[in-house]
């Protein structure tokens, strides 16, 4: 074997281009062939050098970008130096009557109370609702029976759950949606949608499930409905749902709901 | 109406993520800048509020998360995007912040000027770990500088081939070389040169 071919085999091996058989054969040959073994070690060292240098180049590029972004961030201290943005002193018109002013004051106070109430119900208190939803989401374990593993011809159901188990949620979504519309299949379809941050679609799947009293995963569906609300920034709905779960000590997702509420 | 808008936004976001992912996978690594800008502010807020990171640490970790994301794509470890890009980046970034917080926590008692905690025993495990890290950094610096000793074309060719996993034909076009064969020969020579710099006896 000439040097070029040998190097090509080493490259294929190190860059993950070799098939399983080829890899095993190569590894076996390396144990017998000192020259090949040395060349592999030298190439690995060269690759480490290239990787480190380019890692640093990318890092420098992002650091430069970061310093540009930091510099471009709005500086509140400069606002006062802009004459157009400074407050002006204007003459206040004389009061026409005390009675109408009082009415205005009451109306303004009422509006303020309503606005504060609305804000308190819906504000995210400085957290990223969508992120928190994903942070708190763990796909529900596949507890369906009938998933056959190692079977050459997978049934549609087994194939859907195989994708689900593998974390291929986009593929699982398509396959689960095509299955018979049982409550269990819908529950896992909701999971696959949540995993892809399709919050609105997930909540429309979970809501009906929570209303089926004899569905064994209805309580779990309720928790995931709360996450889906949160992901859509429907903070007050999410709080309501999660508070009910957190106050029910027999609820299977009680602890998760409690933790999530604490973060909100 | 609000729900409709929200649905559309969710759809747009996953479509954008998929398109960006495919473009990066196809070799457009310059799009990492856009990725960084799109998610940086959210991560900085999150890391500072939820993970108690400093702004500088949060930015540092997020840069590393973007690089790790890219390397997972080009190495073939990440072939399909099964969650949002933001979720993926935040998951890596969060782990890096935890590690950094832990490192900071561990380094404080080993400060010889502090005079508290574990003391200044040179055999102390923490001091040894710092020494090991220094040696490792030194070796890393030596490796990283090797590529800088080569010409620009060699440097770019090897980086495109071994780091960005570009096919030979794309490298030929990018570097304006005469043919795929000539590009392969050039790559072989450049690699030999780099090996000689790293292990002069070879």
The answer to whether the Cβ–Cβ distance between B42 and A195 falls below 8 Å is no
Instruction: Give residue B176's domain range.
Output: 150-202
Based on the domain organization, do B6 and B105 belong to the same domain?
yes
Q: Is B145 contained in some domain? A: no
What number of other Cβ atoms are within 10 A of residue A68's Cβ? 10
The C-alpha of B194 sits at a distance from chain A's nearest C-alpha, in angstroms, of 6
Greater pLDDT, A56 or B129:
A56
First to last CA, chain B: 70
Same domain, B8 and B71: yes
Contact flag A200-B140 (C-beta cutoff 8 Å): no
In a domain, B199, yes or no: yes
CATH topology for A129-263? 1.25.40
Condensed to tens digits (0 to 9), the pLDDT of residues B129-186 reads 444 544 567 777 778 789 989 999 999 999 999 999 999 999 999 999 999 999 999 9
Residues B157 and B105 in one domain: no
- Domain-embedded: residue B126: no
Lowest mean pLDDT among A60-69, A83-92, A234-243, B18-27: A83-92
What tens digit of pLDDT does each residue of A209-230 get?
A: 998 888 888 988 999 999 999 9
Across the interface, of B14, B83, B144, the residue whose CB is closest to A53 is: B144
Q: Is residue B85 part of a domain?
A: yes
Residue B88 belongs to domain with CATH number: 1.10.1740.10
Each residue's pLDDT tens digit, A122-179: 555 556 787 778 777 877 877 775 444 444 456 888 888 877 776 777 778 888 888 8
Specify whether B13 is located in the same domain as B92: yes
- DSSP per-residue codes, chain A: --HHHHHHHHHHHHTT-S-HHHHHHHHHHHHH-HHHHHHHHHHHHHHHHHHHHHHHHHHHHHHHHHHHHHHHS--GGGGGG-GGGS----PPPPPS-HHHHHHHHHHHHHHHHHHHHHHHHH--TTS-HHHHHHHT--PPP---S-PPPS-SS--HHHHHHHHHHHT-HHHHHHHHHHS---HHHHHHHHHHHHHTT-HHHHHHHHHHHHT-TT-TTHHHHHHHHHHHHHHTT-HHHHHHHHHHHHT-TT-TTHHHHHHHHHH-
Q: Which residues of A touch B10 (CB under 8 A)?
A: 197-201
CA dihedral A194, A196, A202, A205 (to 10 degrees): -100
B180 falls within a domain: yes
B175 and B86 share one domain: no
Say if residue B39 is in the same domain as residue B101: yes
Whichever domain contains B189, its CATH number is 1.10.10
CA distance A115 to A120: 8
The residue among B58, B85, B110 that closes a domain is B110
Mutate to test the interface with A, among B84, B89, B161 (most CBs of A within 10 A): B84
Give B63-92 pLDDT, tens digit per residue: 999 999 999 898 888 888 888 889 889 989
How many distinct structural domains can be found in chain B? 2
| Beta-carbon separation of A42 and B195 below 8 A | yes
Same domain, B91 and B19: yes
With 90 as the cut, is the pLDDT of residue B115 above it?
Answer: no
**pLDDT tens profile A27-42:** 999 999 999 999 999 9
User: Are B64 and B159 part of one and the same domain?
Assistant: no
- Interface residue of A53, A139, A163, A260 to substitute, partner B, most B CBs within 10 Å: A53
Please state the domain extents for chain A.
3-69, 129-263
Is residue B58 one of the residues assigned to a domain?
A: yes
Residue where one domain finishes, among candidates B57, B78, B110 = B110
Q: Is residue B141 part of a domain?
A: no
User: Tell me, what's the ipTM?
Assistant: 0.78
> Which of B31, B163, B200 to mutate: most A Cβ within 10 Å?
B163
Q: Do A42 and B76 touch (CB under 8 A)?
A: no
């Amino acid at each position: 074997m000439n040097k070029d071919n040998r190097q090509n085999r080493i490259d294929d091996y190190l860059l993950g281009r070799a098939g399983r058989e080829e890899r095993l054969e190569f590894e076996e040959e390396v144990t017998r062939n000192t020259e090949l073994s040395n060349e592999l070690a030298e190439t690995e060292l060269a690759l480490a050098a290239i990787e480190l240098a380019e890692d640093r180049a990318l890092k420098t590029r992002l650091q430069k970008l970061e310093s540009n972004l930091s510099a471009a961030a709005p500086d509140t201290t400069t606002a006062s130096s802009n004459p157009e943005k400074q407050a002006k002193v204007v003459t206040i018109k004389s009061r026409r009557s005390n009675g109408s002013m009082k009415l205005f004051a009451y109306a303004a106070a009422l509006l303020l109370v309503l606005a504060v109430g609305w804000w308190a119900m819906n504000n995210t208190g400085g957290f990223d609702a969508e992120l928190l939803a994903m942070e708190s989401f763990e796909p529900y374990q596949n507890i369906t029976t009938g998933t056959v593993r190692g079977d050459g011809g997978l049934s549609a159901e087994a194939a859907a759950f195989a994708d689900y188990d593998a974390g291929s949620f986009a593929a699982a979504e398509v396959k689960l949606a095509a299955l018979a519309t049982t409550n269990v299949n819908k529950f896992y379809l909701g999971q696959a949608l949540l995993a892809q941050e399709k919050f609105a679609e997930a909540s429309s799947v979970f809501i009906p499930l929570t209303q089926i009293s004899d569905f064994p995963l209805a309580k779990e569906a309720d928790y995931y409905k709360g996450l889906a609300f949160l992901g859509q920034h429907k903070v007050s709905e999410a709080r309501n749902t999660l508070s009910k779960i957190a106050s029910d000590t027999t609820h299977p997702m009680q602890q998760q709901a409690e933790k999530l509420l604490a973060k909100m | 109406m609000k729900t409709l808008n929200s649905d559309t936004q969710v759809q747009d976001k996953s479509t954008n993520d998929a398109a960006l992912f495919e473009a990066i996978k196809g070799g457009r690594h310059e799009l990492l800048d856009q990725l960084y800008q799109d998610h940086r502010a959210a991560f900085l807020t999150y890391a500072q509020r939820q993970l108690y990171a400093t702004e500088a640490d949060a930015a540092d970790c997020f840069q590393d998360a973007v690089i790790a994301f890219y390397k997972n794509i080009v190495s073939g470890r990440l072939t399909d995007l099964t969650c949002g890009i933001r979720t993926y980046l935040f998951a890596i970034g969060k782990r890096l912040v935890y590690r950094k917080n832990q490192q900071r926590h561990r380094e404080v008692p080993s400060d010889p000027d502090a005079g508290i905690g574990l003391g200044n025993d040179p055999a102390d495990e923490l001091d040894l770990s710092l020494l090991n890290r220094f040696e490792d950094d030194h070796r890393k610096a030596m490796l990283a500088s090797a590529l800088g000793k080569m010409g620009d074309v060699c440097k770019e060719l090897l980086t495109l081939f071994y780091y960005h996993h570009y096919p030979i034909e794309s490298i030929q076009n990018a570097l304006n070389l005469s043919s795929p064969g000539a590009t392969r020969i050039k790559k072989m020579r450049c690699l030999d040169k780099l090996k000689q710099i790293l292990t002069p006896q070879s």
